[in-house]
C-alpha cells in the first residue's frame, strides 16, 4: 500500500476508538517495514481484536499485491509468445523418451526367499572370536531357536572364558540393531536385521500420523500466547471479523489438550501422555513388528501395544476431518476435540496437517520458540510474520524452555535399567552398541557420585581450575566446563553419544526390557500401557538424561549447572542436577533471522531496553519499532492510591525482614476490615507468596480478624492446583452476583486472597463486580534464596567471574533459610547496573500484571491500592529501589501518593464508590 494512502480496517466489527486506530496503523506499517516491533496496549483496550484486524488486513493486502504482480507477469509472458513449459506434458516429449522403459527396481513388498544359513555347532574346545560369537547367536535369534549355549568371551582380566547364554526368542524385540562406532563409519546403523519385509498400507504410511500430500508453502502469520485459554480467546475474537470466512486458520496445542484416546489420557501428566503417544507412533512405523518370525514357518502376533493408536488407523477419516475443518469457521481446541471425537480420529495430528494450507496459525509459546518443536511440527518461518502476545516475560520464558533437569531417583532408575540390559545382552551386542551403552553407564555413575559424595569430586581436576573452588562450587553452581572436568567426563563425545541414542531407539529398547523384567519379578502380568502408569517411567528418565547431556553441549558461558544434593527435610527434598540457560540471544535470533517481521505485544512491555539487550542486543536501532498507547477508560474510572499507613497509624513495610511481624500482619487485617465496608462487590488481594498468604490467614483466624472480614465478604483463597482454578473462579463470581443484590448492610460480596505469580495473577480477568478493588500487598520481589534467579542476575550484571569464589555457598533447594537469603542479598547488593535493574523489573512486572486484572472495558471502574510505604519513598534512600515510573502510564498518571494517613484513603475510596454507585443507579 502506498505510504500516502489512508489505511483502513473494514473488518473491525465496531467503531474503533482513536487509540485502537493508532495501534492498528502502527502495526500495519511495522509489518510493511519488517524487523522487530513492540506494541504496548493496556488490557481492556481491545488489543487482541486490533492485532487481528491490522495484521490480517496486511496479509490480505499483501496477497492481493502478489496476485496482481503474478497476473501482470503472466500477461507479459503470454504477449511475448512464451508459453509456459509443462515438465510433465507427455505430448512434448521426444519419441525416445516416451519409449524408454527404465530398469525396474526390485519390489520391496515381495518377500525374498530366506537363505538358510548353516547351523552352527558349539564345541566347548573351540575358541572363537567375539565377533564370531555375535554372528552365531544373532543367527540363532533370526532362526527362532531357543537353547542354552557356551560362547567364549574375554573377562575383565582379558582372559578368554566360556559363559552360558540363553537365547530367548521372547527377548528378541529388545535387541538393538548393529551399530558401527565412529571409528568405523562415523556412527551409523548397519541395518542388517533379518526381519520380515512388510508393505505399508495407505493407512499406515506415516511415523506420527502425518504424511499427507505436500501443500504449497504460503505466506503465514503465526500468533502465539502463553496459555491455551488465551489462544481460545483469540479464536473467539477472530470469529467476530470477516477474516473468519476469508482466511484459513488453524489452532495447535499440546497432546494433553488434544488427545481423545482414553487409554492414553488416563496417564495424567503431559510428559507421560507425550511418551505414550510417540511410542504408539513408533510402533506404527515399525510395521514389521506386528508379526514375528518364529522359525519353521510359524508366525505370531505382537501385543496390542505395537498396533499404533486406534485414532490414527483410517486415512479416509483423517481426510474427512480435514475437509470438515476447511468448511467451518476458525475452531479452537475444544471445537477440534469435539469434531475429532465425533469422527473417531486424532485432532492433534489432524490440526497439524492443516498447517501447510493455513494463512494463520495459532499456537502456544513452546511450539514456536522451541527449535525441536518447530521442526517436529514442520513450521516454516521463512519470510513469515510472528506475533507474540503477552510478551512481558518473553526473555525468561524463552530460556526456561531450554532448561534441563535429572533427579537422583531418575539416575538410580536409569542405572538399574542400563546395567540389567547390558548384563542380559552384552554378548549379543556389537562393539558399537556395547561402547555407547557403557558410556551411558559411566555418565549415570558420575552424576550419581556428584550427588551422593557430599561435595567430593573426581580425582582428575583440570589445572585451569582450583580444586577448592570447584569443591565449593559443587554445592551451588558450576560452568559447563567446570562440571565436565570435575566429573572426569570431559573426554566423552556427547554429540556422537546423543546421535547414537536418537538413531538406535535405545530408549525404548532398554525401557521395554526393564519393564518386562520388573513385571516378571512381581510374578504377574500387566495390561498394555500399565507400565507407563507409575510415577516415573523409564522413558521419561531417559529423556531427562538426554536433555541434560544435550545441555552440556552448549557453549560454556550460555548457562550454569546447579547441583542440589538430597536433604532431609519435611518435604523429603530430592537431589537433582539442573542446567539453567542464561542467554536467549542465540535462541531468539534463529526465529528473527528467518521471519519477515516479529511483533511483541503486551499490556506492559516497559522497560523495552532490558528486552532488547537480552534478546537482540545487536539489532540496529532503525530495525526496532516501539508503540505505546493509553487506556480507553476515562480518568474518573480509576483510583490508584499508595497506602502508607494502616487504620491505627502503623507504617506498612512488607520487606522480607518485617512482613512476618505480628503487628504488621494485624495492621493489614485492620485495613481489610475497613475496606470491605466501603468497597462493593468483589475485592482481590494479592500476597507475595502462598507461604505468606497461609501465615497471614492463620494469624487472622486466631485473632478474630477473619471473622470480622467474613461478616461483610465471603472469603475465597486461591487453590494451589491449577486444575481447581476454573471451578473456584466460577463460584467466586456466582457468590458476588448473588450477594451483591441483597441487603448492603449484611454480607455484600466476596474477597479473594490471590498470590503474585499464581494462576490468577496472569490471564484471569476481574471485570466489573468481580474486581472493584485490587490490593497489592508489598513489593513482590523474588526470593534472594532462589539460586536460579541469582545466577541470572549475576549473568546479566556480568558478575560470573568475580563472585564465584568470593561469596559463600547458597542453597539450591529453594528453602528460605537465613544463610541462603543473606547470600542472595550479598550478591544483589553488589549489583549496580543491569543485574539490579533486572531484579527490580521482575518485581514491577509482577505488580503490573496483577493490578491490570481489574479494568477490562471502557465502562469498567476499580480502585487499586499499593500497600507499602516504599511505593512512595525516596528512591535514593532504598537499598533495592523500585520505581513507580515503571507502572503503566494509565495508572501512573493518576497515582495518589500524598495520602499521609488511612483516614484520607478511606475518604477517597468512599467518594469514588459513592460516585459510581449513584451514576449506575441513574442510568
Residue-wise pLDDT tens digits, 712-727: 999 999 998 887 888 9
pTM comes to: 0.78
Residue-wise pLDDT tens digits, 59-118: 999 999 888 877 766 565 555 555 444 444 444 444 433 444 444 444 444 434 334 333
* pLDDT higher than threshold 60 for residue 125: no
* pLDDT higher than threshold 80 for residue 884: no
Question: Which is more confident, 353 or 216?
Answer: 353
* pLDDT higher than threshold 70 for residue 894: yes
Confidence tier at 520 by pLDDT (50, 70, 90): confident
Question: Which is more confident, 503 or 676?
Answer: 676
CA–CA distance, 729 with 725 (Å, rounded to integer): 6
* pLDDT higher than threshold 50 for residue 531: no
CA-wise closest residue to 314 among 200, 198, 199, 204? 204
* pLDDT higher than threshold 80 for residue 735: yes
* pLDDT higher than threshold 90 for residue 404: yes
pLDDT at 674: 95
- Provide, rounded to the nearest whole percent, the portion of the chain with pLDDT above 90: 42
Residue-wise pLDDT tens digits, 543-559: 999 999 999 999 998 99
CA–CA distance, 681 with 732 (Å, rounded to integer): 11
CA angle 120, 122, 124 (to 5 degrees): 160
The full DSSP string for 431-443 is HHHHHHHHHHHHH
pLDDT at 85: 43
CA–CA distance, 194 with 349 (Å, rounded to integer): 32
CA–CA distance, 694 with 755 (Å, rounded to integer): 10
Instruction: Identify the weakest region by mean pLDDT among 381-385, 497-501, 512-516.
Output: 512-516
pLDDT at 127: 44
| Mean pLDDT within 758-764 | 80
Question: With 0-12 CB in 10 A as exposed, 13-18 as middle and 19+ as buried, what is 902?
Answer: buried
Residue-wise pLDDT tens digits, 598-608: 999 988 887 78
pLDDT at 183: 52
- Provide, rounded to the nearest whole percent, the portion of the chain with pLDDT above 70: 72
Residue-wise pLDDT tens digits, 234-290: 999 999 999 999 999 999 999 999 999 999 998 888 888 888 888 888 766 554 444
Question: Which is more confident, 765 or 781?
Answer: 781
* pLDDT higher than threshold 70 for residue 878: no
Phi-psi region of 363 (alpha: psi -120 to 50; beta: other; left: phi over 0): beta
Question: Which is more confident, 259 or 523?
Answer: 259
* pLDDT higher than threshold 80 for residue 170: no
Confidence tier at 34 by pLDDT (50, 70, 90): very high
Residues 6+ apart with CB under 8 A from 780: 686, 688, 689, 756, 757, 843, 846, 847
CA–CA distance, 862 with 582 (Å, rounded to integer): 39
pLDDT at 134: 52
pLDDT at 136: 52
* pLDDT higher than threshold 60 for residue 181: no
Average pLDDT, the chain: 78
CA–CA distance, 127 with 125 (Å, rounded to integer): 6
| Mean pLDDT within 647-660 | 92
CA angle 117, 120, 124 (to 5 degrees): 170
All three cell numbers of 878: 532504598
Confidence tier at 209 by pLDDT (50, 70, 90): very low
Residue-wise pLDDT tens digits, 688-712: 999 999 999 999 999 999 999 999 9
Confidence tier at 178 by pLDDT (50, 70, 90): confident
Residue-wise pLDDT tens digits, 420-440: 999 998 888 888 899 999 999
Phi first, then psi, for residue 276 (nearest 5°) are: -65, -40
Whole-Å CA distances, 539 to 265, 505, 812: 17, 11, 26
Phi first, then psi, for residue 335 (nearest 5°) are: -65, -45
Q: Coil, strand, or helix at residue 196?
A: coil
* pLDDT higher than threshold 80 for residue 495: yes
pLDDT at 193: 40
| Mean pLDDT within 768-781 | 94
Torsion angle in degrees (nearest 10) through CA of 315, 319, 320, 321: 100
Confidence tier at 121 by pLDDT (50, 70, 90): very low
| Mean pLDDT within 878-892 | 72
Whole-Å CA distances, 537 to 256, 508, 531, 546, 891: 17, 11, 7, 14, 50
CA-wise closest residue to 697 among 654, 737, 754? 754
All three cell numbers of 390: 503477552
Confidence tier at 334 by pLDDT (50, 70, 90): very high
Residues 560, 473: contact at Cβ < 8 Å?
A: no
Phi-psi region of 297 (alpha: psi -120 to 50; beta: other; left: phi over 0): left
| Mean pLDDT within 745-774 | 87
pLDDT at 426: 86
Amino acid at each position: 500500500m502506498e505510504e500516502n494512502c489512508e489505511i483502513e480496517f473494514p473488518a473491525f466489527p465496531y467503531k474503533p476508538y482513536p487509540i485502537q486506530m493508532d495501534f492498528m496503523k502502527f502495526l500495519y506499517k511495522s509489518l510493511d517495514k519488517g524487523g522487530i516491533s513492540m506494541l504496548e496496549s493496556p488490557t481492556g483496550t481491545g488489543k487482541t481484536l486490533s492485532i487481528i484486524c491490522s495484521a490480517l488486513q496486511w496479509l490480505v493486502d499483501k496477497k492481493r499485491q502478489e496476485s496482481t504482480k503474478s497476473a501482470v507477469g503472466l500477461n507479459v509472458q503470454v504477449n511475448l509468445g512464451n508459453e509456459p513449459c509443462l515438465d510433465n506434458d507427455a505430448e512434448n516429449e521426444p519419441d525416445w523418451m516416451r519409449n524408454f522403459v527404465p530398469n525396474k527396481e526390485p519390489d520391496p513388498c515381495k518377500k525374498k526367499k530366506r537363505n538358510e544359513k548353516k547351523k552352527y555347532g558349539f564345541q566347548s574346545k573351540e575358541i572363537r572370536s567375539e565377533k564370531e560369537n555375535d554372528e552365531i547367536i544373532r543367527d540363532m535369534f533370526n532362526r527362532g531357536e531357543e537353547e542354552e549355549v557356551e560362547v567364549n568371551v574375554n573377562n575383565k582380566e582379558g582372559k578368554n572364558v566360556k559363559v552360558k547364554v540363553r537365547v530367548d526368542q521372547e527377548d528378541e524385540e529388545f535387541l538393538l540393531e548393529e551399530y558401527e562406532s565412529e571409528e568405523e563409519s562415523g556412527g551409523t546403523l548397519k541395518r542388517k536385521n533379518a526381519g520380515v519385509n512388510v508393505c505399508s498400507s495407505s493407512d499406515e504410511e506415516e511415523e506420527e500420523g502425518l504424511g499427507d500430500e505436500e501443500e504449497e508453502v504460503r505466506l503465514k502469520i503465526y500468533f502465539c500466547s502463553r496459555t491455551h485459554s488465551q489462544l481460545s480467546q483469540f479464536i473467539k475474537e477472530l470469529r467476530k471479523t470477516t477474516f473468519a470466512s476469508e482466511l484459513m486458520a488453524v489452532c495447535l496445542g499440546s497432546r494433553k489438550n488434544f488427545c481423545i484416546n482414553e487409554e492414553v489420557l488416563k496417564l495424567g501428566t503431559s510428559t507421560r501422555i507425550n511418551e505414550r503417544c510417540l511410542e504408539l507412533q513408533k510402533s506404527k512405523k515399525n510395521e514389521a513388528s506386528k508379526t514375528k518370525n518364529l522359525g519353521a514357518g510359524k508366525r505370531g502376533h505382537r501385543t496390542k501395544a505395537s498396533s499404533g493408536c486406534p485414532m490414527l488407523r483410517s486415512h479416509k477419516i483423517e481426510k474427512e476431518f480435514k475437509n470438515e475443518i476447511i468448511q467451518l469457521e476458525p475452531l479452537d481446541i475444544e471445537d477440534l476435540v469435539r469434531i475429532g471425537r465425533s469422527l473417531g480420529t486424532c485432532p492433534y495430528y489432524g490440526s497439524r496437517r492443516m498447517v501447510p494450507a493455513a494463512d494463520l496459525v495459532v499456537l502456544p509459546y513452546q511450539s514456536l520458540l522451541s527449535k525441536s518443536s518447530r521442526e517436529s511440527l514442520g513450521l516454516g518461518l521463512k519470510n513469515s510474520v510472528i506475533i507474540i502476545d503477552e510478551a512481558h516475560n518473553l526473555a525468561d520464558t524463552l530460556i526456561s524452555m531450554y532448561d534441563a533437569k535429572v533427579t537422583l531417583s531418575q539416575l538410580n532408575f536409569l542405572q538399574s535399567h542400563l546395567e540389567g540390559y547390558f548384563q542380559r545382552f552384552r554378548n549379543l551386542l556389537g562393539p558399537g552398541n556395547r561402547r555407547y551403552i557403557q558410556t551411558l553407564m559411566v555418565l549415570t555413575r558420575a552424576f550419581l557420585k556428584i550427588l551422593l559424595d557430599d561435595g567430593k569430586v573426581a580425582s582428575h581436576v583440570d589445572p585451569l581450575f582450583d580444586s577448592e573452588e570447584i569443591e565449593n562450587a559443587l554445592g551451588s553452581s558450576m560452568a559447563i566446563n567446570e562440571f565436565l572436568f570435575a566429573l572426569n567426563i570431559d573426554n566423552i563425545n556427547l554429540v556422537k553419544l546423543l546421535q547414537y541414542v536418537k538413531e538406535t531407539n535405545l530408549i525404548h529398547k532398554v525401557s521395554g526390557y526393564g519393564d518386562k523384567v520388573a513385571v516378571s519379578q512381581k510374578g504377574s502380568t500387566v495390561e498394555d500401557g500399565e507400565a507407563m502408569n507409575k510415577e516415573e517411567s523409564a522413558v521419561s528418565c531417559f529423556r531427562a538424561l538426554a536433555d541434560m547431556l544435550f545441555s552440556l553441549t552448549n557453549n560454556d558461558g550460555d548457562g550454569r549447572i546447579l547441583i542440589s544434593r538430597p536433604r532431609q527435610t519435611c518435604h523429603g527434598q530430592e537431589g537433582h542436577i539442573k542446567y539453567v540457560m542464561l542467554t536467549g540471544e542465540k535462541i531468539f535470533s534463529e526465529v528473527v533471522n528467518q521471519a519477515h517481521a516479529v511483533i511483541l505485544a503486551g499490556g506492559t512491555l516497559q522497560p523495552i531496553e532490558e528486552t532488547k539487550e537480552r534478546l537482540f542486543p545487536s539489532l540496529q536501532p532503525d530495525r526496532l519499532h516501539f508503540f505505546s498507547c493509553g487506556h480507553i477508560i476515562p480518568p474518573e474510572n480509576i483510583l490508584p492510591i499508595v497506602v502508607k499507613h494502616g487504620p491505627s497509624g502503623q507504617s506498612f513495610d512488607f520487606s522480607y525482614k518485617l512482613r512476618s511481624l505480628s503487628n504488621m500482619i494485624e495492621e493489614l487485617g485492620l485495613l481489610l476490615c475497613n475496606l470491605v465496608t466501603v468497597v462493593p462487590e468483589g475485592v482481590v488481594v494479592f500476597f507475595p507468596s502462598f507461604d505468606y498468604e497461609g501465615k497471614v490467614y492463620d494469624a487472622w483466624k486466631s485473632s478474630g480478624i477473619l471473622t470480622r472480614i467474613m461478616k461483610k465478604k465471603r472469603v475465597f483463597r486461591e487453590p494451589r492446583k491449577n486444575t481447581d482454578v476454573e471451578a473456584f473462579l466460577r463460584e467466586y463470581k456466582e457468590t458476588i452476583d448473588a450477594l451483591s443484590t441483597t441487603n448492603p448492610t449484611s454480607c455484600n460480596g466476596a474477597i479473594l486472597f490471590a498470590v503474585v505469580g499464581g494462576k490468577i495473577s496472569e490471564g484471569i480477568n476481574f471485570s466489573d463486580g468481580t474486581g472493584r478493588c485490587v490490593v497489592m500487598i508489598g513489593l513482590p520481589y523474588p526470593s534472594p534464596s532462589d539460586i536460579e534467579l541469582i545466577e541470572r542476575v549475576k549473568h546479566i550484571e556480568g558478575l560470573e567471574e568475580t563472585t564465584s569464589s568470593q561469596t559463600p555457598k547458597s542453597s539450591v533447594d529453594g528453602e528460605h533459610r537465613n544463610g541462603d537469603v543473606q547470600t542472595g542479598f550479598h550478591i544483589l547488593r553488589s549489583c549496580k547496573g543491569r543485574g539490579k535493574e533486572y531484579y527490580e523489573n521482575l518485581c514491577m512486572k509482577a505488580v503490573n500484571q496483577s493490578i491490570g486484572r481489574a479494568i477490562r472495558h471502557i465502562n469498567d471502574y476499580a480502585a487499586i491500592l499499593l500497600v507499602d510505604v516504599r511505593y512512595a519513598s525516596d528512591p535514593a534512600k532504598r537499598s533495592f529501589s523500585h520505581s513507580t515510573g515503571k507502572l503503566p502510564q494509565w495508572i501512573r498518571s493518576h497515582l495518589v501518593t500524598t495520602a499521609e494517613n488511612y483516614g484520607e484513603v478511606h475518604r477517597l475510596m468512599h467518594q469514588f464508590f459513592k460516585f459510581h454507585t449513584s451514576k449506575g443507579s441513574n442510568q
